């Protein structure tokens, strides 16, 4: 029979246990979240008023670039992989992930990638300063020397994601307990299965793109250099062919988390289980054919504009089905509002606001006005902060008692929620108005007419930042001083993970459970 965890550092260095690896991914992503958050606060401190006060324009560009890269590849994506590692095997009744050693490796190459990326800040010429979308020729012909380390870091992050995705597909398709048929799998398992296929499809595209950059920078090719017969617009097509599915890679697992939490606290089964599965699959499919809605202003043929406009509007349908099903699950439910439920309800409301501004952006002629303004910044922060991030926080509050065997402090949890809720709306809602009034994104200085909106946003950002320090305190307080949790934790929780003890034993389901 399998033994318990090893001792000391070697436990974490050599572990192949999905729970250990899940914890490492979650702590790593939280550390990256703090670093990415600090960069955001530098940006907001500079934008508190017009004129240059704190940083110079090049450093400001490095902050916006690293903020995007760290939050997307270092915080959000690893957090979802951490939750998948902890929960997927327990949800399908498997003893571990299908490829435990590769699992260890796909985690341990991440800190090296991000150490390399962050160390570019201390290199001559500074860190990458061309935005997280790193468009050529800004990121090739005009890039700082550190761009080569950036490219290498992206290669490593991509390899980690692809290995993680292969592991998740292999686990879900091969390790399910007898009786755990596909249409019995929890939504979190379904959304991760679909997300993993998206990752396997598009992360190689990203790897190919940065390799073409490497060739243009060091080996004299001119993929993106017009002077050499290349095409800088080609860069954008390839980037967004990866980039748009990437945004769904950051939200599909969230849909699965919300579909686990809302039924528990509404005390009703999830409404429309199979339509949720089909909606996730159709969102994933459509996410491959909308990429050029990021490029309406590059001068595309009108037929292309129309195609990408209508295809993008189409995504609203399956997304609407999901929102309808969550609301229908809550309708006439015996609802209680513990912290995970508060974050989940805020997800449904605020993600929908982000979705609606996304619909506005999908209208090509209107997007000519919105493109590259703070309206776009407001849009993607509403789908990523109360969207992806709130779902991750909700998941931590929901499953932490199972991971640690201890309950978090409910009053502190609710305080964290309300401060974060107010903070993010004060930060990002005014950006809609600054953007509609024409304020461009990624600039360190601006016209006086945008001063009020920016001042409000900056105050909100510091409130939101402070609330996340409270979150760290709550998690540590739970681990070291939390009250003992019951095995079921939530009275109406469904799922195999709630049938094991709290804290979940180091090895679970060494013998497959019986699925009814």
Nearer to Cu ion, 126 or 131 (CB): 131
Residue 374 annotated as catalytic? no
Residue 294 annotated as catalytic? yes
- Name the catalytic one among 160, 329, 339, 493: 160
Question: Binding to Cu ion by residue 379, rule CB under 5 A?
Answer: no
Q: Which residue's beta carbon is nearest to the bound Cu ion?
A: 244
From residue 221 to residue 260, the character string flagging contacts with Cu ion as x (rule: CB under 5 A) and all else as - is: -----------------------x----------------
Residue 391 annotated as catalytic? no
DSSP alpha helix (H) spans, 47-146? 57-69, 77-92, 100-119
- Name the catalytic one among 20, 46, 216, 246: 246
3-state secondary structure 386-415: HHHHHHHHHHHHHHHHHHHCEECCHHHHHH
Chain centre distance of CA 153: 18
- How many residues line the site for Cu ion (CB under 5 A)? 1
Tell me the longest C-alpha to C-alpha distance in the chain.
69
The CB-of-372 to Cu ion minimum distance in angstroms stands at: 14
Residue 441 annotated as catalytic? yes
- Name the catalytic one among 65, 319, 339, 352: 319
- Name the catalytic one among 132, 135, 197, 273: 132
Residue 246 annotated as catalytic? yes
SS3 236: helix
Nearer to Cu ion, 176 or 244 (CB): 244
From residue 87 to residue 126, the character string flagging contacts with Cu ion as x (rule: CB under 5 A) and all else as - is: ----------------------------------------
Residue 244 annotated as catalytic? yes
Can you tell me the distance from the alpha carbon of 152 to that of 146, in angstroms, rounded to the nearest whole number? 10
Nearer to Cu ion, 236 or 478 (CB): 236
DSSP alpha helix (H) spans, 227-301? 232-249, 252-266, 273-286
Nearer to Cu ion, 193 or 383 (CB): 383
Can you tell me the distance from the alpha carbon of 486 to that of 477, in angstroms, rounded to the nearest whole number? 18
Long-range contacts of range 40-48, CB-CB < 8 Å, 24 or more positions apart? 40/67, 40/71, 40/461, 40/465, 41/461, 41/462, 41/465, 43/67, 44/427, 44/457, 44/458, 44/461, 44/462, 45/458, 46/444, 47/444, 47/446, 47/454, 47/457, 47/458, 48/454, 48/455, 48/458
DSSP alpha helix (H) spans, 294-363? 302-330, 339-362
Beta-carbon contacts of 174 under 8 Å, excluding residues fewer than 6 positions away, are 98
Nearer to Cu ion, 168 or 384 (CB): 384
The CB-of-311 to Cu ion minimum distance in angstroms stands at: 11
- Residue 91 CB: number of other CB atoms within 10 A? 24
Question: Binding to Cu ion by residue 268, rule CB under 5 A?
Answer: no
The CB-of-408 to Cu ion minimum distance in angstroms stands at: 35
Residue 248 annotated as catalytic? yes
- Name the catalytic one among 25, 248, 291, 326: 248
The CB-of-361 to Cu ion minimum distance in angstroms stands at: 9
Please say whether the beta carbons of 49 and 459 come within 8 A: no
Nearer to Cu ion, 14 or 368 (CB): 368
Euclidean distance between the first and the last CA atom of the chain, given in angstroms as a whole number:
26
Residue 259 annotated as catalytic? yes
Can you tell me the distance from the alpha carbon of 223 to that of 220, in angstroms, rounded to the nearest whole number? 9
- Name the catalytic one among 19, 44, 268, 322: 322
Where do contacts with Cu ion occur on this chain (CB under 5 A)?
A: 244
Q: Which residues are catalytic?
A: 67, 96, 132, 160-161, 244, 246, 248, 259, 293-294, 319, 322, 441
């Amino acid at each position: 029979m399998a033994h318990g965890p090893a001792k000391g550092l070697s436990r974490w260095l050599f572990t192949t246990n999905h729970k250990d690896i899940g914890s490492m991914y979650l702590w790593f992503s939280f550390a990256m979240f703090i670093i990415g958050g600090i960069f955001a606060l530098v940006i907001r401190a500079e934008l508190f008023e017009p004129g240059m006060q704190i940083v110079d324009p090049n450093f400001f560009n490095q902050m916006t670039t690293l903020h995007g890269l760290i939050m997307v590849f270092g915080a959000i994506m690893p957090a979802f992989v951490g939750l998948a590692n902890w929960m997927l095997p327990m949800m399908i009744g498997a003893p571990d992930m299908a490829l435990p050693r590769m699992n260890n490796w796909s985690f341990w190459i991440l800190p090296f990638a991000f150490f390399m990326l962050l160390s570019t800040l201390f290199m001559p010429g500074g860190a990458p300063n061309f935005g997280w979308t790193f468009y050529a020729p800004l990121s090739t012909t005009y890039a700082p020397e550190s761009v080569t380390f950036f490219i290498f870091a992206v290669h490593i992050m991509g390899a980690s994601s692809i290995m993680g995705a292969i592991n998740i597909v292999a686990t879900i398709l091969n390790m399910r307990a007898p009786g755990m048929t596909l249409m019995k799998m929890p939504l979190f398992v379904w959304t991760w299965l679909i997300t993993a296929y998206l990752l396997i499809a598009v992360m190689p595209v990203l790897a190919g793109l940065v390799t073409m950059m490497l060739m243009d920078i060091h080996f004299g090719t001119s993929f993106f250099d017009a002077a050499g017969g290349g095409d800088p617009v080609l860069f954008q097509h390839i980037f967004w062919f990866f980039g748009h599915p990437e945004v769904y890679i950051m939200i599909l697992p969230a849909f699965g988390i919300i579909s686990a939490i809302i039924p528990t606290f509404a005390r009703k089964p999830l409404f429309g289980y199979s339509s949720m599965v089909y909606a996730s699959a159709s969102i994933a499919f459509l996410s491959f054919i909308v990429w050029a809605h990021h490029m309406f202003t590059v001068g595309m043929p009108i037929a292309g504009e129309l195609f990408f406009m209508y295809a993008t509007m189409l995504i609203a349908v399956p997304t609407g089905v999901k929102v309808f099903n969550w609301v229908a699950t809550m309708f006439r439910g015996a609802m209680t509002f513990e912290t995970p439920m508060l974050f989940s309800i805020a997800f449904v409301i605020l993600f929908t606001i982000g979705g609606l501004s996304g619909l506005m952006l999908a209208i090509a002629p209107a997007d000519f006005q919105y493109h590259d303004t703070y309206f776009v910044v407001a849009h993607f922060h509403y789908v990523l902060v109360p969207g992806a991030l709130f779902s991750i926080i909700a998941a931590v509050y929901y499953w932490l008692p199972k991971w640690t065997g201890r309950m978090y402090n409910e009053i502190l949890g609710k305080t964290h929620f309300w401060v974060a809720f107010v903070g993010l709306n004060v930060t990002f809602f005014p950006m809609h108005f600054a953007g509609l009034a024409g304020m461009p994104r990624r600039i360190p200085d601006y016209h006086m007419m945008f001063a009020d909106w920016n001042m409000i946003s900056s105050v909100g950002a510091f409130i939101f930042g402070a609330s996340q320090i409270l979150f760290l305190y709550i998690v540590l307080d739970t681990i070291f001083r939390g009250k003992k949790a019951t095995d079921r934790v939530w009275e109406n929780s469904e799922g195999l993970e709630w049938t094991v003890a709290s804290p979940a034993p180091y090895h679970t389901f060494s013998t497959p459970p019986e699925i009814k």
